[in-house]
Amino acid sequence: MSDLWKLTYSQIKKGLNAGEFTPTELANSLVSRIEAEDSKIKAFLKFEKDNILKSAAESTERRKAGKALSEFDGIPIGIKDNICIEGTVTSCASKILENYHSPFHATAVEKLLAKGFVLIPRANMDEFAMGSSTENSAYQITKNPFDTSRIPGGSSGGSAAAVAASFVPVALGSDTGGSVRQPASLCGIYGLKPSYGTVSRYGLVAYASSLDQIGPLSKDIDGVVDVYSIISGKDPKDATSKNLPAFEASKAKPLELQGLRIGKMKISSEIEPDVAKAYESLLSELESKGAKLVDLDFSLLSNSIPIYYIIATAECSSNLSRFDGIRFGARKDPSGKLEDLYVASRSEGFGKEVQRRILLGTFSLSAGYYDAYYGRAQKARTLIKKEYEGYFSKVDLILQPTSPTTAFKVGEKTSDPIQMYKADILTTSVNLAGVPAMSIPIGTDSKGLPIGLQVTAPSLQEEKIFGFAKSISDWSSKVKLPEKIQ
């Protein structure tokens, strides 16, 4: 049973329910895998082996007694370090919260525990979810399991790398402008950004409240579907939660490709040739199977990056104001003066990228600049929402590459923030519009690095995305996750 870590989510679920192995045997296999390989990947900030094995043992006893909490009882799941777990440090990979122990569970965590999932915290991330490479963590840089000289994407890079390295079969991340989809693409796995409001944000430490969504990452599509069905649904603790029931996993059935209207983009110079080739090859195959390809004009969406960064940084400036060394966060008090306490606590507690975004957001919200920047960005956001409504009057789904490139080298873009921001050029508009999108692995480039396809659907129609993913599973099966970490 030592190689159980190789199994996909679906195989693990089936094996546990058939009694082929126990949650304890599964957990021991994954723990051994993590202990052997995470020193190369650095997916986890802290690895709580004893707690994991204790939870697995409790699940094993429940199953032996015929009292399993659900068909998911005993399945391990990685948790990003900005999703609260009661009694566990939730640092958001930041020094300012390095000793913050959450006094409560996030709603998504509560729902998972109620089904018997075994939590494996704390997956590394860009500090306060601000980054596209997981190089902005205050503690360590996570590496890509396909090539440890490269980044795994961000900000949910720890969660994505943990799944791709077979440390966990499924994980939770958060997506503000592509932070689940982009690392899923670069790590060769599935990653969903749900419709805004379908998954509770209660217990997710906020970066940009109108954009953030918790989303699952998985080795296979069934892991995404199952976890989304569990964590979705109305939550009275979250005012932005839609009054809707949880998604029913049984609705996720393969789509009929014949007659399916697919919106496609024109390949630009920003898209790497290998990524463009994989994208166009898939489109050709879909067309041969009867799908109708529709050219869409994405010129308005090309403005998404500046719109996104004005809105996101403004909201981050507001949300992070509470971390002042008094109400929340590590306290630095060099002189006993209030102003010095604020300056020292925030200067030492926040990293450079977080400071940069706070300053940008504070500027765009300041008197004399609010209307010129934040006000105009919100009006432009409304235009983007209407643009998507126009698209979906013509097509059923929109297909684009998730990322314009495959995984780049560690340190390659850290000196140029603008180039780093452009890594999200194809993903940010989805968050601005509040619609669902998922990254699906569809191949590899000439270096063997994964390529992801972003599938976007109208709001609340995750069912279409899941169905499409099931219909092209043969393409996704081309991407083999690495067993040996180099």
Q: Which residues are catalytic?
A: 80, 155, 179
Smallest Cα–Cα separation from 165: which of 2, 12, 38, 15? 38
The C-alpha atoms of residue 120 and residue 76 are separated, in whole angstroms, by 7
- d(Cα 358, Cα 175) in Å, to the nearest integer? 19
What's the rounded Cα separation, in Å, for the pair 148 and 43?
Answer: 12
Closest residue by Cα to residue 347 from 94, 134, 145 = 94
